[in-house]
Amino acid sequence: MFEQPIPTLRRDGDAVLILDQTALPFRSETLRLATLADAARAIRDMQVRGAPLIGATAAHGVALALLHDSSDAALEHALQALAATRPTAVNLHWALARMATLLRPLPAADRLAAAWAEAEAIRADDAATCDAIGRHGLKLIETIAARRPGPVRLMTHCNAGWLATCGAGTALAPVYAAQAAGIAVEVFVSETRPRNQGLLTAWELAAAGVPHTLIADNAAGLLLMRGEIDLVITGADRIAANGDTANKVGTWLKALAAQASGVPFYIAAPHSTLDFGCADGPSIPIEDRGAAELCMLRGIDASGGLAALRQAAPGTHAANPAFDITPASLITAIITERGIAAPGQLAGLYPEAAR
């Protein structure tokens, strides 16, 4: 099993410790969440991020909420507050639905222990799921490695590595599996403006010793067109019943360029990202994170302190949709913990959820 170099999320008695992703890739800082408000803020402000990790954090947030009051009212308030933090990643809502189904029928006195146990089960389940995604995705990388010499050149977008989950990651799980199997892989990492999650991907790949190259988002098309990429794998925040997929904004453009260049485009995602209740991509809510984060640049200053610099003129009108939809027709296949399926054929792998 993949072991996270630093746990992204773990229980610590009556609190939850998270790796603060707003300080990365500059500083590794652990934050202590002690209340429902702490957990909700961590998700909303992206101290934790990535669809599976958001879900696991929300589950732990329910346990935090019940620490001093496990009444029906407190439970419903926690479920609502956490559901309102971020709209697109369905893993958040999947985790809250799982907590609600378990906790609502229980006597109030039994809820806290059950909530901690279920939150831990969600965390452990995600770690195992990531490993299985890695094993299935490895087969795709092995096939390419057998076809030609040199490292397999894989492009990804955003961060769908261990930082985004409780385990190895989704899109990067096959990369870590290939590394463990001794197969050379080079990862092309798009910076993923405006939040620069690609810098998180570069950070975790560097720490793992995986060769990688950071590129500007707009360079992806050229690399694909020149035949310099063997396959694209990204994560997902929600996959609709027909296979249309929401992921970090810019994913669709990579899928378009991949199709135009004859390069296979894969999505890697766990069961908690599947939304059979959502018919298609246009039905998926897209988060708008506001103009401020687009108009500012974050980094560290000369003294090593975290700093924000304005890059757009004051008053500039800006739109900041955080996700886009890649239609099923552009997706070669979806890599899940149960195997690889064409988009729209996932019901065959998950008959119980598709019902």
131 to 160: interface string for ligand MRU, x by CB under 6 A:
---------------------------x-x
Residue list 48-87, contact with ligand MRU (CB under 6 A): 49-52
Among the residue ranges 10-18, 234-242, 294-302, 333-341, the one whose residues contact ligand MRU (CB under 6 A)? 234-242
Q: Write the single-letter amino acid at 107.
A: P
Dist. CA 33–CA 279, nearest whole Å: 36
Q: Which is nearer to ligand MRU, 108 or 286 (CB)?
A: 286
Q: Which is nearer to ligand MRU, 145 or 160 (CB)?
A: 160
Dist. CA 339–CA 355, nearest whole Å: 19
Residue list 170-209, contact with ligand MRU (CB under 6 A): 170, 197
| Residue 68, burial from CB neighbour count under 10 angstroms (0-12, 13-18, 19+) | exposed
Residues 6+ apart with CB under 8 A from 88: 237, 238, 246, 284, 285, 286, 287, 322, 323
Q: By CB under 6 A, is residue 248 in contact with ligand MRU?
A: yes
Tokens of 290: 């506001």
First to last CA, the chain: 31
CB of 324 to ligand MRU, least distance (A): 10
Q: Which is nearer to ligand MRU, 75 or 191 (CB)?
A: 191
- Which residue is listed with tokens 């904004």? 249
Distances (CA, A) of 87 to 92, 224, 251, 291: 8, 31, 18, 17
Quick check: 252 and 330 in contact, CB under 8 A?
yes
Q: Which is nearer to ligand MRU, 112 or 233 (CB)?
A: 233
**Which one of 70, 129, 190, 247 is in contact with ligand MRU (CB under 6 A)?**
247
Dist. CA 167–CA 164, nearest whole Å: 8
Q: By CB under 6 A, is residue 164 in contact with ligand MRU?
A: yes
260 to 299: interface string for ligand MRU, x by CB under 6 A:
----------------------------------------
Active site residue 131: no
Q: Which is nearer to ligand MRU, 70 or 336 (CB)?
A: 336
Q: Which is nearer to ligand MRU, 164 or 185 (CB)?
A: 164
Tell me: cis bond preceding 25? Omega within 30 of 0 counts.
Answer: yes
Dist. CA 37–CA 22, nearest whole Å: 17
CB of 160 to ligand MRU, least distance (A): 4
Q: Which of 237, 244, 275, 324 is catalytic?
A: 237
**Closest by Cα among 143, 149, 161 to 199:** 161
**Closest by Cα among 274, 2, 273, 272 to 135:** 2
16 to 35: interface string for ligand MRU, x by CB under 6 A:
--------------------
Give the catalytic positions in this structure. 237
Contact residues toward ligand MRU (CB under 6 A) are 49-52, 89, 158, 160, 164-165, 169-170, 197, 234-237, 247-248, 322
